[in-house]
Amino acid sequence: MLRNTVPYNGRRACMRCRWCVGFACEVNARTGTHNTVIPTALATGSCELRTDCMTKEILLDSAGRANGVAYFDASDRLQRQTADLVIVAGGAVESARLLLNTRHRLFPDGLGNRHGWVGRNLQSHSYAGATGLFGFDTFDDLGPGASIAISDYNHGNPGLAGGAMLANEFIRLPYQFMGQVPPWVPRWGTEHKEFVRDAYRRTIVIMGPVQEMPLADARVQLDAKVKDHWGIPVARLSGGRHPHTIEIGRYIATKAEEWLKEAGAVHTWKRAPAKSLSGGQHQAGTCRMGTDPKTSVVDRDCRIHDMDNVYVIDASVHVTNGGFNPVLTILAKAYRASERLLQGWKGTKARS
C-alpha cells in the first residue's frame, strides 16, 4: 500500500483517514517520490531540483547525440541545460510527447521513433468488479480501505490472456458512491438520494485492475494545431480498448460478484470496462521495451535503441501493466536501470 504502518524514515505512521485516494496525506505517511527518493537525492548535495519548469525538447548535436534539454523556467524563460545523460520520466503521455517533439535531421519523426512505436500501445488498467448490498452495516470508515486481496485470477483464467487481482475497494466518499449505484436506481432525484442514504453504509465493492491488451492504434500523437501555454504541441490521444480486455473485465466482474454473494450480499451489480480508450491513471506502454529495435523503443536497460545517452525510465516502457497496480514494477525497473547505468556509464563529451 506504499504507506508507513509505523514511523519510518522521519515520516509518521498512517492514521487511517478516509482521504487516501486523491488527496495529500496529512501526516506524510503515504509514499511518493516527493518524500522519499527526491529528498534522499537532494541530501547527497549532487542533485538540484528545478520545479515549475516545462521541458520543450531534448537537444541533439549534429551527430544526433543528446547534449542537453531546452526548457521553460518558472518565469517562462527558455533555458538550455547541457547534459551528459538525459533520463525521461514524464509518464506514458508526456514522455512520448517529449520524444515526439524532439526532432532532428536524423530523427524526423521524433526521438526513438524510427519505426513508429513512440506513442503507440497506450494502455492503463480497465477496472472491473462488482458491488454488493448487504443486510447490515459493512462500512468501518477506516482508510485507505482495501484490506483483503486475492491473486487467484491474475493468470490461468480459461481461454483468457491475463487477468487481475481482486480487492475490496478504497474507502468511498459519498460523492464517489454516486457513481456506484445499481443500474436500476436513477442517477438523480429523490429515489437516488433515498438509495444512497439507505445503502451507503451497507455496500462493499470488490474490484481489480484488469491487464489491458496492447493495441497499436491506442496512441499518443502530437496535435497538429493545438499548442500549450509555451507553444509546444499538445498530446492528442486516440484509439480504444482491445475486445479481449473487455472480455477479461467481464470475467473478473463475475468473479467479484461470486465473492460478494458468498459473503452474503442480498443484491449485487457488476461493472465491466467499455470500449473507450483508457490511459488516465496507470498510463503505460508508449515507449515499449524490447530486444528488437524494429518493434520497440528502449532496450532492457531502458535506453532508447538509437541513442547512447537517452533513457526512458517510467511506465512508458511496460509492454503490458500486468494485473496489479504498476508502481512497484516502475520502482523495481527504475532501481534496476539506475544500477546498470551506474555500472556501465562512461560519460560523454558533453561534460567537457
Residue closer to ligand SF4 (CB basis): 25 or 313: 25
302 binds ligand SF4 (CB under 6 A): no
The CA radius of gyration of the chain, in Å to the nearest whole number, is 23
Q: Which residue of 68, 112, 144, 239 would you call a contact of ligand SF4, by CB under 6 A?
A: 144
* Helix (H/G/I), strand (E/B), else coil: 97: helix
Min separation Cβ 168 and ligand SF4, Å: 15
Residue 77 CB partners (closer than 8 Å, separation 6+)? none
Q: For the chain, how are helix, strand and coil distributed in percent, rounded to 5?
A: 25, 25, 50
Q: Which residue of 50, 126, 143, 289 would you call a contact of ligand SF4, by CB under 6 A?
A: 143
Residue closer to ligand SF4 (CB basis): 320 or 325: 325
For the chain, give me the number of helices (H) and strands (E)? 6, 12
* Helix (H/G/I), strand (E/B), else coil: 271: strand
Where residue 120 falls (left for φ over 0; alpha for ψ -120 to 50; beta otherwise) is beta
Min separation Cβ 20 and ligand SF4, Å: 3
Residue closer to ligand SF4 (CB basis): 71 or 139: 139
* Euclidean distance between CA atoms 141 and 144, whole angstroms: 9
* Euclidean distance between CA atoms 317 and 323, whole angstroms: 16
Residue closer to ligand SF4 (CB basis): 129 or 144: 144
Whether residue 281 contacts residue 127, with contact meaning beta carbons closer than 8 Å, is answered with no
Give the helix/strand (H/E) hosting 59.
strand 54-60
Min separation Cβ 14 and ligand SF4, Å: 3
Min separation Cβ 173 and ligand SF4, Å: 13
Residue closer to ligand SF4 (CB basis): 24 or 63: 24
Min separation Cβ 23 and ligand SF4, Å: 7
Whether residue 54 contacts residue 71, with contact meaning beta carbons closer than 8 Å, is answered with yes
Min separation Cβ 16 and ligand SF4, Å: 5
Question: Hunting for cell 509555451 — which residue is that?
Answer: 230
92 binds ligand SF4 (CB under 6 A): no
* Euclidean distance between CA atoms 352 and 338, whole angstroms: 23
Min separation Cβ 332 and ligand SF4, Å: 21
**Grid cell locating 29:** 505517511
Residue closer to ligand SF4 (CB basis): 144 or 214: 144
Q: Which listed range, 9-17, 39-47, 119-127, 314-322, lies at the site for ligand SF4 (CB under 6 A)?
A: 9-17
Q: How far is CA 173 from CA 199, 209, 322, 337, in A?
A: 13, 20, 28, 39
Site string for ligand SF4, 14-43 (x = CB under 6 A): xxxx-xx----x-x-xx-------------
Min separation Cβ 140 and ligand SF4, Å: 13
Residues in the site for ligand SF4, rule: CB under 6 A? 3, 14-17, 19-20, 25, 27, 29-30, 143-144
